[in-house]
Structure 1
Amino acid sequence: MTAGQVSNNGPKPLQRNLSRRVSFNEATLARSQEPPKPPAEPEFIDTEAQVVSRPPYSACCNSCCAWTSLVLAVLLLLSILVGGVYFAFLQSNLPQVRLHRLDVYYLEVNNTDTDTFLTSDLEVRLNFTNDNSKIKLSYSRMTASLTAEGVDLGTVTVPAITQEPSSSADVRARTWMRKTSAEEAVAEDLRDNSLKHLMVIDVVLKGHIDFLVNGNKMNGFPIKVSCRSIDQSEIDNGHAPKCGVQMTPL
């Protein structure tokens, strides 16, 4: 290849490069001559609505809420504490109750071809002792339920009584049942045990108790006396089993 040929062939690639550059510039120029697009419509933001809907929290409000919660919590704890002390005071001044006598006046079983009937007449005596020297006690709306070895022996209303400080009082509960249907084996076991003075009896009294302290009356408290599994032979031997006493709505 001659030098003249080299010089003649050399400008061709430069020309192609130049045409490329010109075409790019023309495209750019064409785009720049296009009419500008209208600006996008700005979004409408209801600043007033945002301000109105935003909760008006502030440091002062947060502090006020915190102090209010603290005061309410303290008042609640104080109420629980005072109520607990008050309940403990009343519970500690409930009477002591002992079952000291059981009389079985009549207990008979009648068998027929189709059924067994039980007839009974029993009485229990409970001693209520008020150990407090300043509180007067009053009992009202009391009912007594007697059961023996799973057999219901009846429920009776007990008359209301008032008990002076440092005193004792007897409460009697006598129940009658006339030809009540019962299971034959259970009824006969109950009759045999009563003849041998080996009955095991449960007595439950429910009612209300009032406390009178220095002329002030605190009334309407529910009371429950439970004498569970009391052995007749123990009572006959002169013992007086202690009964449970509690304030309860049940």
Structure 2
Amino acid sequence: MKKHLLWLVALFTSSLFAATDAEIVEHFKSTIQVPNITIEVVSRQKVDGIDGMDFVTLNLSDGKRSQKLSIFTKEDLIFPDVISIKQGGSIKDMMEMAELQKKLSPLYQKEDKKNIVALGNDPKKDTLVVFTDPECPYCRQELAQIEQRLTTHNLRLIFTPVHERSSLEKSVLIYNETSKVKSDAEKIKILKKYYDESVKYDQKISDKEVAHIDELKAKYFGAGIKGVPFIVREKELLK
């Protein structure tokens, strides 16, 4: 299925049709040669500032796997993306982020404070929510500049590890140990300890504790997060 989905961008420019929901679905069914595929329009909204253009999200499934696909349509045309010079980038990325923030918002607002490592408390600074994994190499790069980041932002870390059990265990230990200290410096020291590739620990982590982190990850990835580190402004989640 993945191979066929990669061909979609090429197909976008080869067909013109009246872009009703039904016709969009029928078009993709006829061009994706995957047995038993189901395609449905899951959302459709107007694009601000572009008259007559809609942003459409489809769900494609073969019964075992599913994939979301977002497109733009205007009159009898369809586009994989629209770049706005005025807004400085991909409208698709902006709209997908807006949709994701809507899904994350109620989860974050109800989140137990025990599942959030708070760094910085300056009301004059924006606060960033960081979804992270102690074994992710890109998360390690992000952590390496944490002191610099704190000069401009407050941070709220939520652990959603994508690696093996050891990454979930390290997340448990970080939550446990940071909950016992107060200063940012002490919390950062704990973070750096467990983000270190060479770290070793003797503490026994129960299956229940590991399952809690796994559930935390599943909750946010289920809402649409695709990887770590994932960073979003807290004010967007508090709307």
TM-score (norm 1): 0.23
Higher fraction of strand: 1
Q: Which is higher, the Rg of structure 1 or of structure 2? A: 1
Provide the TM-score with structure 2 as the length reference.
Answer: 0.23
**Could you say which structure has the higher helix fraction?**
2
